[in-house]
A and B are shown apart, each in its own frame.
Chain A
């Protein structure tokens, strides 16, 4: 109770026009940055850390939190409208967001994403102020064994739910991504793997250019060659009212709670981030939905679930960042550096040195969630006007933005070359029924799988038994086995037979 009173007291202090303007403007900036393919929350926070260094500490934190939350929502806009996720966390939103746009329901898709972002951020906030200490105890049980099985599980999930053709293609995509991640110098022995003597490859294959390449270039080729574009006449003209949106939120309350818990929980695991949270949440929504056949074709829960999770991840990721000084995801790693630059050292001593700091962060998240909702309402209509721009004008602009996005993070021209090469590969793969999402997720998680697998085996002296004796790891293994078996034709036959029997018994 005293925590709640402290929070309300701090929140009251933030509710003044000056602070609200700063958070509003920074959230809007975050939405714009997130919507541009390749410009991530990490990059935005990194750039703004130096730009805000001269400001008062609390002003800088307002800006950084606003940008962080805004970018998480912004990533979904380009995913829904253009089939190009603005950020990696929005790669699961593409699956049902873009099909909704093709059906002329872009407004609805944005509304769902906005509701998801709003409730997701709120759930993250609740986690941050209420259950940070017990959650951290559970999270600290995640060792290399659990990390390995979690990463493999996530790649498997992404492969299973995203393949438009055969499920095996999703897994091949995930493995292809994992193989790409092994290129470069590995971290334990500094051994150069699959670099073919090219020095440029020793730093590995960067994620962002590959993400943009796999999603962006195929989309640009498809639209300009006339095989896929949205007819502006088919777009719905009226957006759902606020009451209707909350009604929709109430209808999917189970999805909101489940995805929020997944998002905040996964976010609290150091080094994981919104991408895995979004995929796990999508899988959970798919498994528990009554309308599974709609998934991948424009299911409402398919848009909401990943958005709730990756926004809940913001609050979740702040938990280890603030309480242990270990960043929850890449944006919070940069945020951690920003905090230290302003004289705040996160970690166990934070609650002694700055007793109200966690509550201040929670209050900022709380305000930012309302800002995302309000700004989302304002921008929905203008961003849907994008389809009134002829593709011959829009797509060259998208190309320039993709190039900038691929280049900006490392400022290396070779990254742009890679973007193009993977774009061409991505085009052929998507034409053959491979979805780019598991490839990108495989590339992202490959390092985690490799390092944790070897670290775990070193701890157990080469024994694989701990993978089976540790409860969390065992759960991931069993669920992974279930997913694999459930995709086999034998299992489907048994399942269909069972279904027929049930119908005939009725």
Chain B
């Protein structure tokens, strides 16, 4: 990332960190009051569940502020959130490929893994991902993916006895 863009991103994240830090401090303060009501005589400021988050949140807010100031001093601006800049990033091939990878992994984790048996979901993920990124000839991809999915399922599911994730259809594949 170019230094100017990096500092603009720092400015934005610095502000986000300040907001997170203030929220954590606010929640931690609330914990002091809740603890005082619930534990009454046993409650003291130093044994409150909010103590460590309050201290950490305060330093986090302070460092977020420092990051914001540093970013502004070194040329950071809000240009990064302008539509023109965003459009430019969206058009970059590296972004498109990266986004595709995120979609593929997201589909594997959120849709396939919880609905299909582990072997099947991994097989589909491997075939689709390798095909999209043109890893090899299609029959080799299928063969390779099938062997690999079986090995992983066998080693972790059968040998190591880890109950692998799988949805409703898993029962059909049980021995």
Chain A residues in contact with chain B, CB under 8 A?
Answer: 47, 165-166, 168-169, 171-172, 175-176, 178-179, 182, 186, 188-189, 191, 193-194, 217, 220-222, 224-227, 390-393, 395-397, 399-401, 403-404, 407-408, 411, 413, 416-417, 419-420, 423-424, 427, 431-433, 446, 449-450, 453-454, 457-458, 462
- 11 additional contacts (CB under 8 A) given A399-B105, A427-B98: A171-B63, A179-B53, A182-B52, A189-B35, A189-B38, A189-B39, A226-B97, A392-B135, A420-B106, A423-B105, A457-B47
Tell which of B66, B113, B134, B135 has the most Cβ of chain A within 10 Å.
B135
On whether the beta carbons of B134 and A392 are closer than 8 Å, the reply is yes
Interface of B is mostly: helix
By a CB distance below 8 angstroms, the chain A residues around B90 are none
CB contacts between A and B, total, < 8 Å: 164
By a CB distance below 8 angstroms, the chain A residues around B66 are 168
On whether the beta carbons of A458 and B47 are closer than 8 Å, the reply is yes
A169-B67, A454-B46 are contacts. A400–B6 as well, Cβ < 8 Å? no
Contact residue among A172, A222, A395, A462 (Cβ-Cβ distance under 8 Å from B67): A172
On whether the beta carbons of A168 and B56 are closer than 8 Å, the reply is no
On whether the beta carbons of A453 and B44 are closer than 8 Å, the reply is no
On whether the beta carbons of B101 and A458 are closer than 8 Å, the reply is no
17 residue pairs from A and B, CB less than 8 Å apart: A47-B161, A47-B162, A175-B59, A179-B53, A193-B31, A194-B53, A225-B94, A393-B136, A396-B130, A411-B163, A416-B113, A416-B165, A423-B105, A432-B6, A453-B52, A454-B48, A457-B47
On whether the beta carbons of A217 and B130 are closer than 8 Å, the reply is no
On whether the beta carbons of A413 and B114 are closer than 8 Å, the reply is yes
On whether the beta carbons of B94 and A179 are closer than 8 Å, the reply is no
Is B64 on the interface with A (CB-CB < 8 A)?
A: yes
Tell which of B24, B31, B98, B106 has the most Cβ of chain A within 10 Å.
B98
Complex Cα gap A120–B160 (Å): 29
By a CB distance below 8 angstroms, the chain B residues around A462 are 44-46
Q: Mark B120-154, 1 if CB is under 8 A from A, else 0.
A: 00100110011001111000000010001100100
By a CB distance below 8 angstroms, the chain A residues around B56 are 175, 178-179, 182
Contact residue among B44, B53, B135, B156 (Cβ-Cβ distance under 8 Å from A404): B156
On whether the beta carbons of B49 and A188 are closer than 8 Å, the reply is yes
By a CB distance below 8 angstroms, the chain A residues around B64 are 172
On whether the beta carbons of B70 and A454 are closer than 8 Å, the reply is no
Is B117 on the interface with A (CB-CB < 8 A)?
A: no
By a CB distance below 8 angstroms, the chain A residues around B134 are 392
Nearest Cβ on chain A to B114's Cβ, whole angstroms = 6
A172-B64, A182-B53, A392-B134 are contacts. A454–B47 as well, Cβ < 8 Å? yes
A176-B60, A188-B47, A224-B97 are contacts. A454–B52 as well, Cβ < 8 Å? yes
Q: Return the 7 tightest CB-CB contacts between A and B, nearest first.
A: A457-B46, A392-B133, A392-B135, A225-B97, A225-B98, A450-B52, A191-B49
Nearest Cβ on chain A to B9's Cβ, whole angstroms = 5
By a CB distance below 8 angstroms, the chain A residues around B156 are 404, 408
On whether the beta carbons of A432 and B70 are closer than 8 Å, the reply is no
Contact residue among B70, B125, B126, B149 (Cβ-Cβ distance under 8 Å from A166): B70
B60's nearest neighbour on chain A, judged by CB, is A175
On whether the beta carbons of A225 and B101 are closer than 8 Å, the reply is yes
A177's nearest neighbour on chain B, judged by CB, is B56
Interface of A is mostly: helix
By a CB distance below 8 angstroms, the chain A residues around B106 are 420
B42's nearest neighbour on chain A, judged by CB, is A189
Size of the B side of the interface (Cβ < 8 Å), in residues, is 66
A193-B49, A416-B165 are contacts. A393–B135 as well, Cβ < 8 Å? yes
By a CB distance below 8 angstroms, the chain B residues around A392 are 129-130, 133-135
Nearest Cβ on chain B to A375's Cβ, whole angstroms = 19
Is B27 on the interface with A (CB-CB < 8 A)?
A: yes
Is B33 on the interface with A (CB-CB < 8 A)?
A: no
By a CB distance below 8 angstroms, the chain B residues around A423 are 105
By a CB distance below 8 angstroms, the chain B residues around A186 are 49
Complex Cα gap A411–B161 (Å): 11
Nearest Cβ on chain A to B22's Cβ, whole angstroms = 13
On whether the beta carbons of A433 and B101 are closer than 8 Å, the reply is no
Complex Cα gap A175–B34 (Å): 25
Complex Cα gap A413–B112 (Å): 12
A392-B133, A399-B125, A432-B10 are contacts. A453–B51 as well, Cβ < 8 Å? yes
Is B4 on the interface with A (CB-CB < 8 A)?
A: no
Nearest Cβ on chain A to B111's Cβ, whole angstroms = 12
Complex Cα gap A225–B163 (Å): 33
On whether the beta carbons of A397 and B126 are closer than 8 Å, the reply is yes
A217-B105, A393-B135, A416-B113 are contacts. A458–B46 as well, Cβ < 8 Å? yes
Nearest Cβ on chain B to A431's Cβ, whole angstroms = 6
Is B13 on the interface with A (CB-CB < 8 A)?
A: yes
Complex Cα gap A419–B102 (Å): 12
